[in-house]
């Protein structure tokens, strides 16, 4: 039995980091880290926060100083906290849909003619790779801006870092973009985010508004990750898995709320103070070290994803939002979309009963959430993806033999269904 959780920081490295932070002197490696990022994002300025959503929050703060317009177009299929940030900053989210069974969008500004004069920005969400709609959208915005008030383009690259098309990297098309380096990513600093300013406007004036994380804050992160690592170790994971399994089976929501951070959509009156922090120099040092094997990890996960696809693509009850395995795509997990929610739930339970740990969710369809009910457009394609998606593990510890076991069990399930 193998946990679907995998952290790019091993339990041994995590243990060492506990002692390293105690004696860490604020060795500044920010310039070296910027050089690494500049390989992918040339001619840009970088600002380091403790979370990706904080970087997005500051982007919108900057926009609020540049425009009086209040509407922001954004993909409905996204992390609900990203929608919250839009609201915290005094803007109004206007939801856009995905293409059918796809992580890509098809945004046409002509469809928003009634709102066009009040659109401050468009957030293009890159899910598991580059959203190819960004190329056409960039052209539309450029054409619009030549004779109208500027619409800004923002790229959400939280789960697409490193993907590219025609040798142009994700995050380099827009005016701004942001990255996330939380513990589940290919590169991680426990938590972490980067604001990328492609306009080179020197935004340093906001730095004083944020605190820098303390050593105690880092130690708390290390301890939290250590607990999760222990629960997902060979010794304890069989017991932890039983708790997960029965929580799903009997709707033990108290545990699921702790296990799944997106289980319950909620919003506060203002941007939460706990996210108002800059990245600690120790986190920057951790990030810098991980660039050495970054591409290797991506190649490995892509190879594992292709193995799933090649063996499951003939199953008629499944769709695949990613069916290309080149630089356009990044895989933290491999997504499959079931034809119906009943199939998805039954397959998930079937695999759980056979002690296979997979994820039965990704992002939410925010357009149907009651707390965002000011909007009237229900994004049906996003809803279908959100309701019917399963995510198969592709991390370093998922060896080929175990992958084939997952593949065979999925095939067996559909053979019995037919």
Distances (CA, A) of 98 to 48, 73, 131, 263: 30, 13, 10, 22
Residue 374 pLDDT = 66
Three-class DSSP category at 260 = coil
List b or e across 118-141, with b for residues whose CB sees 16 or more CB atoms inside 10 angstroms: bbbbbbbbbbbbbbbbbeebbebb
Tell me the backbone φ, ψ of residue 274, rounded to 5 degrees: -65, -15
Residue 192 pLDDT = 94
Residue 376 pLDDT = 62
Residue 199 pLDDT = 84
Residue 121 pLDDT = 97
List b or e across 194-207, with b for residues whose CB sees 16 or more CB atoms inside 10 angstroms: bbbbbeeeebeeee
Residue 282 pLDDT = 94
Residue 85 pLDDT = 97
> What is the bridge-based pairing of β-strands 193-197 and 45-49?
antiparallel
**Of 164, 196, 191, 396, which Cα lies nearest the Cα of 293?**
396
Rounded Cα distance between 75 and 150, Å, is 20
CA angle (301, 305, 306) in 5-degree steps: 120
Bridge partner residues of 122 (DSSP): 73, 153
Q: Domain coordinates of the chain in residue numbers?
A: 1-292
Each of the 418 residues of the chain gets a pLDDT tens digit; together they read 899 988 889 999 999 999 999 999 877 788 999 999 998 888 889 999 999 999 999 999 999 999 999 999 999 999 999 999 999 999 999 999 999 999 999 999 998 887 788 999 999 999 999 999 999 999 999 999 988 889 999 999 999 999 999 889 999 999 999 999 998 888 999 999 999 999 877 777 788 889 999 999 999 999 999 999 999 998 999 999 998 888 888 888 777 777 777 778 889 999 999 999 999 999 999 999 888 888 888 999 999 999 999 999 999 999 999 999 999 999 999 999 999 999 999 999 999 999 999 999 999 999 999 888 765 678 999 999 999 999 999 999 999 999 999 999 999 999 987 7
Q: Which CATH number applies to 1-292: 3.65.10.10, 3.40.50.1000, 2.40.50.140, 3.40.640.10?
A: 3.40.640.10
Residue 206 pLDDT = 81
CA angle (8, 328, 185) in 5-degree steps: 15
Neighbour tally for 214: CB within 10 Å: 11
């Amino acid at each position: 039995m193998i946990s679907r959780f995998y952290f790019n920081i091993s339990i041994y490295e995590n243990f060492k980091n506990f002692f390293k932070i105690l004696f860490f002197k604020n060795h500044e490696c920010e310039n070296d880290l910027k050089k690494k990022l500049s390989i992918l994002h040339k001619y840009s300025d970088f600002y380091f926060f403790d979370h990706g959503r904080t970087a997005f929050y500051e982007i919108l703060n900057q926009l609020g100083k540049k425009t009086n317009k209040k509407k922001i177009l954004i993909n409905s299929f996204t992390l609900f906290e990203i929608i919250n940030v839009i609201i915290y900053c005094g803007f109004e989210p206007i939801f856009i849909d995905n293409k059918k069974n796809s992580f890509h969008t098809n945004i046409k500004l002509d469809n928003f003619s009634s709102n066009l004069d009040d659109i401050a920005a468009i957030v293009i969400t890159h899910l598991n790779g580059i959203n190819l709609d960004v190329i056409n959208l960039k052209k539309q915005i450029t054409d619009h801006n030549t004779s109208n008030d500027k619409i800004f383009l923002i790229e959400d690259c939280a789960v697409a870092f490193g993907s590219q098309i025609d040798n142009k990297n994700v995050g380099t098309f827009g005016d701004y973009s942001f990255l996330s380096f939380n513990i589940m990513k290919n590169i991680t600093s426990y938590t972490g985010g980067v604001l990328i300013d492609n306009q080179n406007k020197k935004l340093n004036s906001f730095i004083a508004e944020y605190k820098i994380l303390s050593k105690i804050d880092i130690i708390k992160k290390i301890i939290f990750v250590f607990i999760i690592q222990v629960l997902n170790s060979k010794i304890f994971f069989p017991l932890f898995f039983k708790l997960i399994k029965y929580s799903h089976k009997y709707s033990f929501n108290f545990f699921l709320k702790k296990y799944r951070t997106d289980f319950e959509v909620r919003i506060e009156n203002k941007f939460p103070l706990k996210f108002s922090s800059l990245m600690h120099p120790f986190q920057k040092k951790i990030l810098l070290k991980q660039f050495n094997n970054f591409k290797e990890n991506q190649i490995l996960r892509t190879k594992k994803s292709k193995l799933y696809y090649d063996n499951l693509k003939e199953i008629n009850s499944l769709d695949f939002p990613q069916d290309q395995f080149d630089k356009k795509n990044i895989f933290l997990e491999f997504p499959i979309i079931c034809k119906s929610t009943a199939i998805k739930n039954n397959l998930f339970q079937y695999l759980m009963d056979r002690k296979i740990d997979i994820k039965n969710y990704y992002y939410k369809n925010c357009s149907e959430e009651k707390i965002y009910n000011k909007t009237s457009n229900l994004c049906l394609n996003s809803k279908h993806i959100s309701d019917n998606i399963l995510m198969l593990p592709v991390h370093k510890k998922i060896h080929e033999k175990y992958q084939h076991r997952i593949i065979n069990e999925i095939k067996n399930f559909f053979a019995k269904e037919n």
